[in-house]
Amino acid sequence: MNWDDRAKRRWLGAAALAMALLMLVAGETVLKGVLKGFVFLGYWAVCMACTVVAMVIAFMDARATQRSVGREQRDLLDSTLRKIEGDARSRKDP
């Protein structure tokens, strides 16, 4: 399977988000009585870091998608103008 940049970004973002969600559920249920002191702070700091990483990756993906769409729009406009120009020349020449 060929992984392009978009697929890698999306899988990495989904993994970071899934990790944050798993940590949230575990921290609020199974580990609620176990987490105390600095372990508590460290655990939730890692959970927050996973959330921030997922957000950053989502913004990067949105920006890359915008660039890609802009590039495709420019290419479409260029090809359409070339086609119109070619049609106009072919009508003019005979």
pLDDT in tens, the chain (94 residues): 567 889 999 999 999 999 999 999 999 999 998 999 999 999 999 999 999 999 999 999 999 999 999 999 999 999 999 999 988 888 876 5
pLDDT at 73: 96
How many CB atoms within 10 Å of residue 50?
20
pLDDT at 2: 64
CA 74 – CA 64 distance, rounded (Å): 15
CA 7 – CA 71 distance, rounded (Å): 19
Domains in the chain: boundaries: 5-67
pLDDT at 92: 73
Q: Which two tokens stand for residue 29?
A: 């249920």
Torsion region of 35: left, alpha or beta (phi above 0 gives left; psi -120 to 50 gives alpha) = beta
Write down the residue that tokens 């003019």 correspond to: 92
